[in-house]
Structures are given as C-alpha cells and as structure tokens.
Amino acid sequence: MSDLIKPQDTAHPMVRSEAVHKSYGLVEVLKGIDLEVKQGEVFCLVGPSGSGKSTFLRCINHLEKVNGGRLYVDGELVGYREKGDRLYELKDREVALKRRDIGMVFQRFNLFPHMTALENVVEAPVQVKKESKSDARERGMQLLERVGLAEKAKSYPAQLSGGQQQRVAIARALAMKPKLMLFDEPTSALDPELVGEVLDVMRGLAEEGMTMIVVTHEMGFAREVGDALVFMDGGVVVESGHPREVLTNPQHERTRAFLSKVL
C-alpha cells in the first residue's frame, strides 16, 4: 500500500520529500510530508481544503521556503546547497535556474493579460533561455496547435474562455521543456463543460511520459490516468497507494469521509 516511500533502485525519483515541514508564523501547515514521485509518473494529490496541497506544490519549485526536512527534485535539494552538514541558501539566480525545469499550472490560470496567447508562450523561452524570437515563435505555434488553439494565437487572455486560457497556460509551461509539471487544481475554476478539454490535454501529456503532480478533485481523472495517489489532511499524508486501490477501498476513516463527499 505505502510502497511509495520505498526508495527506487534503478533511477532516482523525480521528487523525494523527507519530513517536509512548513509553517506560516506559528501556524504549521505541513507537518512532515514523506513521499516519492517516480520519473514519468502521474502523481495525484487529494485532500480537503486547507490541508496543505497547494503549499506543498509551491515548496517543490521554491515559491515557498521549506522550514524543515529535505525536499529533492531530480536528486537535487530544493532551495539549498548541502555542504558537509551545513545548508547554504541558494541565490535568487540559482533558484530561478532550477525553476526553469519545473512547469506550473495554476487554478486561476495567471496568464499575462497584456500579452497575446502566443506572446505568453514565447515570453519565458526568449527572456529566460535567450532563444531567438523566431525559433521561440515557431515552437510556440506548435505548442498552441498541440493544445488545439493555433487559431487563437493572436487573442488576448480576456478574449478566451476559461478552458482555452488554461490550455494556453499549459502550453506556456511546456515551452520551457520542463521535466516535471505541477498542476494546482487546474480545472477547479472552470465551468463543467470546459473541464474535459483541459483534462484531455493533461491525459495526452501523461501518455507521452511527462512526470506530473496533480492536485485535483477530479477523481475520474485520478482513477483513469493516475499512477499514484496521496490523500492529505491537516498537513500530513493520511493514505497513499494506487488510485484505484485508494479510491475504491480506502483504509482510513478520514479518507472515507472525504471521498464520500467528492465522489
């Protein structure tokens, strides 16, 4: 059941979290998270509101600073350099360098409203990776095509539906060629009929072998696409396992109570 925590022999895991703690002032939001996300895995994170799912996701790309424990992405410590038994904080520039490899998709899209869809996608490759404008645009168009929005390249976010905006946001994250994608409730702000188009894009990504951590309330998606699922509550991992296993046969009372509400 909890075979997730066992270290893998062959390759190192994409994300390893060892007793990760995070507090805001006196409020402890993450109270020791242990988990492991393997390469190429679709890892679903579920749990009630306020359980710390977003916080954990934001720790992975160092939008939040971890207060305790160790968090590794692709074998490297997040936010710090370890020398001997000392930790050294990374400089802003070094943190930014690591974030390039981690794509993030937000619940509220966070597209840049003053840029067209294509400009949104092209921005980071040109500014951060110093790719040439024409190369970036060409690849940007391919990515928009892939999420089914090539004809919307010149539209501003305000001219797009929620589902279209979220697909542009996914394309924008993919433009940096990340090795890990973080999704924080990507469909929660969408009308029901628009959820499918975003999940389809995510399903396609999963099929191509992208490592994805998905915070979601879409249990159908978790069951169908997920390789692993963790149920969090109150800042701790309550239960973990294969999605089908956990969703059909939850072991803990809290998991059962939560699932009875969302299923």
Partner 1 sequence: MNETDQGSVKPGRPEAIKAVPVRHPGRWAGVAVIAVLAAMLGHAIATNPAINWTVIGDTLTNPTIIHGIWVTLELTALSMLMGVVGGVLLAIMRLSANPVLSATAWVYIWIFRGTPVLVQLVFWNSIGALWPKLSIGIPFGPEFWSENSNTLIPVFTAALLGLGLNEAAYMAEIVRAGIQSVDEGQTEAAHALGMSRAATMRRIVLPQAMRVIIPPTGNETISMLKTTSLVQVIALVELFTAGHDIYARTFQTIPVLIAVSMYYLLMTSILTVGQYYIERHYARGANRTLPPTPIERLARLFRGKPVPPAKSDVVTGAEGGGHV
- Part of the chain binding partner 1 (CB under 8 A), chosen from 81-89, 122-130, 208-216, 235-243: 122-130
The two three-digit tokens of residue 233, written as one number = 């509550």
Integer CA distances (angstroms), 26 to 33, 35, 67, 138, in order: 18, 24, 12, 49
Nearer to partner 1, 111 or 194 (CB): 111
DSSP 214-248: EE-S-HHHHHHH-SEEEEEETTEEEEEE-HHHHHH
- Region for residue 108 given its phi and psi (left: phi exceeds 0; alpha: psi -120 to 50; beta: otherwise): alpha
Nearest CB to ligand ATP, comparing residues 21 and 179: 21
Nearest to 103 by CA among 198, 207, 178, 40: 178
Q: How far is the CB of 3 from partner 1 (least distance, A)?
A: 31
Q: In whole angstroms, how close is the CB of 157 to partner 1 at the nearest point?
A: 7
Instruction: Rule CB under 6 A: choose which of 8, 24, 65, 114 binds ligand ATP.
Output: 24
- Which one of 13, 14, 17, 51 is in contact with ligand ATP (CB under 6 A)? 51
- Helical H segments across the chain, by residue range: 53-60, 92-99, 117-127, 133-146, 162-174, 192-207, 219-225, 243-248, 253-262
Q: Is 137 in the site for partner 1 (CB under 8 A)?
A: no
CA distance 236 to 234: 6
Strand, coil or helix: 28: strand
Measured CA to CA, the distance from residue 211 to residue 256 in angstroms comes to 28
d(Cα 157, Cα 168) in Å, to the nearest integer? 9
Q: Which of 10, 49, 134, 260 binds ligand ATP (CB under 6 A)?
A: 49
Out of 43, 56, 106, 231, the residue judged to bind partner 1 by CB under 8 A: 106
- Residue 56 or 80: which CB sits closer to Mg ion? 56
Query: Binding of ligand ATP at residue 164 (CB under 6 A)?
Result: no
Closer to ligand ATP at the Cβ: 116 or 187? 187
Site for partner 1, residues 8 to 67, rule: CB under 8 A: 61, 63
Q: Which residue has the tokens 């998905």?
A: 214
112 binds, among ligand ATP, Mg ion, partner 1, none (CB under 5 to 8 A by kind): partner 1
Binding region for ligand ATP (CB under 6 A)? 24, 27, 29, 47, 49-55
Binding region for partner 1 (CB under 8 A)? 61, 63, 92-93, 96-100, 102-104, 106, 108, 110-116, 123-124, 127-128, 156-159, 172-173, 176
